[in-house]
Chain A
Amino acid sequence: MSGMSLRQYMLVVDLSSGRMRREEIPPELLRAYLGGRGLGVRLLRGRHTLSPFDPAMPVVFAVGPLCGTPAPTSARLSVVSRSPLTGTVYDCSAGGRFAWRLRAAGLFAILIEGKSPRPVALAVSSAGEELLPADALWGKGVGETVRALSDRGSVATIGPAGENGVLFSNILMGEGNAVGRGGLGAVLGRKNLKAVTVDGDLRIPVADRERFDRARADVLRLFRASPVIFGELGISEYGTPALVDLMRQRRMAPTENFRRTVFEDSSAYSGPAIRAAYGAKKEGCYGCPIRCKKRASDERPLPEYETVSHFGALNAISDLHSIVRSNDACNDLGMDTISAAATLSAWGEARGRFPAAEEIGPLLHDIAHRRGEGDLLAEGSRRVAEALGKPELSMSVKSLELPAYDPRGAYGMALAYATSNRGGCHLRAYPISHEILRKPVASDRFSFSGKARMIKIAEDTNAAVDSLVACKFAFFGASLEEYAELLSGVTGEPRTPQGLKEIGERIWLTERFYNARNGFTRADDDLPTRFFTEAGSSGEGIDVPPIDRARFGEELTKYYRIRGLRDDGSFPDDGFLERQP
């Protein structure tokens, strides 16, 4: 029996009327878009030009075809809508337990539209679904909300930041995983949807068990062969803060709002420092062998690399405990750590003083509740910098704040930031994998040569990965070669890496097409001026010059040609969507 041919259902929830229905997802859409990001993007078609806060704008939660099986790192889902921070189509994937339980409730996706007249929580199980009054939860933090709903299974919730329309508010999973960055928490907040809970007990069939098991063994062997994953200094041991020392050594750690690229005190919040201070324990998403998440001995989720770096170096703070408290606050308020820290940093540079460690906590609460200066800061760094008359100090692309990889230290990353459909994100093409971590092979980080096609291929690949939905970290060891086999085993329908990349290309171009319809052009595929005019922190035999703008532009033009776009980044015709399934 073919798993992909099995009927897959989507729950459509109209919050305005309270009506809910389960409907079958057309199998041809699953074949063409896989699930997760791809399916969500496809389901936005026709409503992709609505305002992110228009009640009719859907928010889609979608798992992938591997979810619920023992495929490594695949118990994830994507949440897709349009971002109020960037205005772009937006997706983010998250792990934990939620995705697996959603599928075990008999659902492949949930599409939420409309606006509830009062706060509600959506409760889903294999027995059915209901909308619960959530007035008593409104205003509560993530921790309290999760505790209140924990008897309903896994919880995805917003905090005060989402309720108050903070443009970088997150949706938090009960296990501490975040649907982060683009402000989808605020989209749920506008819909008066406080939380979604899922529980179920259905088992997911695997069509060809032998093929699946062989592919799974291959993946695990590759994980063991990858120093980044299972090496004694890798992310399984130290979590993503394992990157702190490396980025310092490579002189590409964004410091003081990207004015410098080395923070002398970064060892205060490195992987080993966090382990020593908090007795970090391993934690993982459902069924994940990597277990990159780290928890303190008191069970608090410990911060990721980007969080420690941005609440650290970017704001010139070396106090680890302050950084961990900032992470705790963002998690409970339901706010993105990267954008929050980067917004504070831009604000700090604009006013001539970065916030001190003890100021950060109160500022984060002010942002989440839009109090005092927090009301402006809740708008994200671009709007803050513009309001202060210094737009150049927002270190963002398409209004999304850049994470903790300085683009002057990796030119593929520079190009990838610019071309990312959701703005300044490191996870679209993720060239750090080869430019810094040497996986699957090394590339010259200070060269643009070949990067246009590398970025294009990686964007397509990762669009497929986000639609499967698998974790990017798996691809520090495995590749689509093994994941195509896992998919073939699950569905019984043969898939190839090449075929998956073609699906990824379709998804990527669809996103770009949506963005183009919302006014995005080549001018938006650009980096902040600082990176072209100011050098990074050279030293120790590593020269970090400004990026050559002409060369950057040349490579961007190449990229458009490879994508089949015009040199100005636009589509050669208007019929792209009509030609897609």
Chain B
Amino acid sequence: MIAKTAEKLYRDCSVVQGRVGIAAQDDVMLSEGAPDLSRLAADVLSRLSCLGVVAASPSLPFASYLLRRSNADAKAIVPLDTETRTFLHDIPIVRREELSRDPAGAIAAHLSKRKGVIAEGVGIVASGPVTLEQAYIHYSSVFHAAFVKYLLDALQAGFVLPGEAEAFRSFRDTFLQPLTAEGLPFRPGPLDAPEEVLAEIRAVGRYTVLRGLVDSFFGNISYRVGDTIFISQTAASLDELAGCIDPVPTDNRSTTGITASSELLAHRRIYEATGARAILHGHPKFAVAMSMLCDVKDCPVKDCWKDCTRVRMLGDTPIVAGEIGAGGLAVRVPPVIGGPGKAIVYGHGVFAIGRDGFEEAFRSMVDVENRCREEYFRRLDARTERQSKSE
């Protein structure tokens, strides 16, 4: 399990190679990975009532930059993406001086309250109260939230730390790979045989992780055959969907789908509104970040993420507000997604549909994220240019 967790972190490209430490305990404590980090993970775990701890250096320095850019008296950073707002609430930051005497104790004190922390000079440390996989999920959540917040902060405030601009350039030029659907085989739709549907959902789930459209844990996927929606289960890893797809009758004659994704209602309404057969939902980071930028001044709406009633456009993609699960997302996405075949939810991610199969949905999601990347860098470059001129 420890090896599998490390492998998933590497596959997600969210950690520096060789800079992962993982500890897990049953009746004995086990730890593996980089010696300093695995020792730290074990020390932290020994002070918590938890199953596992992950301590790792993130593959991007964004979390560290957020910490260093924050006010000296700040105790936490507060990204406003949906992941953080719903599950993390905020992300504690542990500064170097706090770590100087008893780093494990200092980190454990913060982890006794929150799922993951950013520790200066260490990286991200996250705990898993129920399973070790949960520690991985919490690590990924912090990494994702920090990534999105940093994109927004950099756009709004520019680069302020030594080496930051260079690091960002490296991220842009080498870390970010061209995003494409090419080379991925899709089954042409419509699909009717349940086995074929399940196989295609499993395959496309893997593609989304492979292309970085979602971190393994996030997102959901479904396909409709007649009066049945086949949908990924809640808390399922999209790259490991075998046995984790629920068949849900559209007339609710059975409640077996109580374990289905929290977005079941949104999927159902999208099917009803569009007649589509396939839905793909992921959290590509540039789309999440761009959805949180709004040009309206003096707007009376405060909780934009759930209360904004406007439909904004990013190119040909509509952006709507909406809370996940039983919130308003299921109300606001269906009316706008039919025409363009795609929509972004404020701070949350992209929904894309396929009229017959998943290829259309997948290509739409890739297209949205590419356009968001382009738009992000266009704005960043413009900002950088303005900054240079003013200097």
Contact = CB atoms under 8 A, between A and B. Distances in A.
A223 B257 CA distance: 17
Interface in B307-357: 323-327
A496 B113 contact: yes
Contacts of A232: 252, 264-265, 268
A221 B326 CA distance: 9
Given A225-B262, A481-B115, A496-B112, 5 more contacts: A233-B248, A245-B254, A438-B234, A440-B130, A461-B129
A441 B326 contact: no
A498 B259 contact: no
21 contacts: A222-B86, A223-B326, A225-B86, A225-B323, A226-B234, A226-B325, A227-B264, A227-B325, A231-B258, A231-B260, A231-B264, A244-B255, A245-B255, A272-B253, A272-B255, A438-B235, A440-B134, A441-B131, A454-B51, A454-B131, A558-B26
B346 to A, nearest CB: 14
B250 to A, nearest CB: 11
Residue among B137, B233, B258 with most chain A CB within 10 A: B258
A439 B235 contact: yes
A498 B48 contact: yes
Contacts of A272: 252-255
Interface in A133-149: none
Contact of A233 (B85, B86, B113, B255): B255
A224 B324 contact: yes
Contact of B51 (A450, A461, A505): A450
A505 B49 CA distance: 10
Interface string A553-566: 00000110110000
Q: Is the interface of B mostly helix, strand, loop or mixed?
A: loop
A233 B252 contact: yes
Contacts of B235: 438-442
Contacts of A437: 258-259
A217 to B, nearest CB: 10
A267 interface: yes
B49 A457 contact: yes
Given A441-B134, A450-B26, A218 B258 contact: no
B256 A453 contact: no
B85 A221 contact: yes
A502 B49 contact: yes
Given A221-B85, A436-B259, A453 B325 contact: no
A501 B108 CA distance: 14
A230 B260 CA distance: 12
Interface in B215-265: 233-236, 244, 248, 252-262, 264-265
Interface string B49-79: 1110000000000000000000000000000
B114 interface: yes
B4 to A, nearest CB: 12
Interface in A242-301: 242-246, 248-249, 267, 270-272
Contacts of A227: 234, 258-262, 264, 325
B255 A481 contact: no
Contacts of B26: 449-450, 452-453, 558, 562
Contact of B255 (A225, A271, A436, A443): A271
A449 B49 CA distance: 17
B369 interface: no
Contacts of B134: 440-441
Contacts of A439: 234-235
A234 interface: yes
Interface in A194-251: 218, 221-228, 230-234, 238, 242-246, 248-249
Interface in A39-68: none
B89 interface: yes
A229 to B, nearest CB: 8
A101 to B, nearest CB: 30
Residue among B51, B233, B252, B256 with most chain A CB within 10 A: B256
A460 interface: yes
Residue among B50, B85, B254 with most chain A CB within 10 A: B254
Residue among A232, A499, A562 with most chain B CB within 10 A: A232
B359 interface: no
B133 interface: yes
A70 interface: no
Interface in A430-489: 434, 436-443, 449-450, 452-454, 457-458, 460-461, 479, 481-482, 484
Contacts of B102: none
B27 A453 contact: yes
The 8 closest A-B pairs by CB, nearest first: A498-B112, A230-B326, A225-B325, A558-B27, A224-B326, A242-B255, A233-B255, A501-B49
B274 interface: no
A119 to B, nearest CB: 44
A574 B361 CA distance: 65
Interface in A511-564: 558-559, 561-562
B25 interface: yes
Nearest to B110: A496
A443 B131 contact: yes
A497 interface: yes
Interface string A10-34: 0000000000000000000000000
A238 B262 contact: no
Q: Is the interface of A mostly helix, strand, loop or mixed?
A: helix
A461 B26 CA distance: 17
A407 B257 CA distance: 22
Nearest to B325: A225
A233 B111 CA distance: 34
Interface of A: 218, 221-228, 230-234, 238, 242-246, 248-249, 267, 270-272, 434, 436-443, 449-450, 452-454, 457-458, 460-461, 479, 481-482, 484, 496-499, 501-502, 505, 558-559, 561-562
Interface in B252-307: 252-262, 264-265, 268
Interface in B22-36: 24-27
Given A436-B259, A562-B26, A224 B113 contact: no
Residue among A226, A233, A497, A559 with most chain B CB within 10 A: A233
A249 B268 CA distance: 22
A453 B25 contact: yes
A457 B130 contact: yes
B252 A226 contact: no
A450 to B, nearest CB: 6
Contacts of A267: 254
A238 B253 CA distance: 11
A393 B112 CA distance: 45
A502 B48 CA distance: 10
A127 B111 CA distance: 46
A60 to B, nearest CB: 27
Contacts of B1: 449-450
Residue among A225, A244, A457 with most chain B CB within 10 A: A225
Contact of B113 (A442, A452, A453, A484): A484
Residue among A482, A498, A561, A562 with most chain B CB within 10 A: A498
A231 B85 contact: no
Contacts of B264: 227, 231-233
A556 to B, nearest CB: 11
Contacts of B236: 438, 442
Contact of B258 (A243, A457, A499): A243
Given A222-B86, A481-B114, A234 B258 contact: yes
A452 B112 contact: no
A225 B324 contact: yes
A221 B113 contact: no
Interface in B128-151: 128-134, 137
Nearest to A501: B49
Contacts of B111: 498
Nearest to B24: A450
Residue among B26, B51, B235 with most chain A CB within 10 A: B26
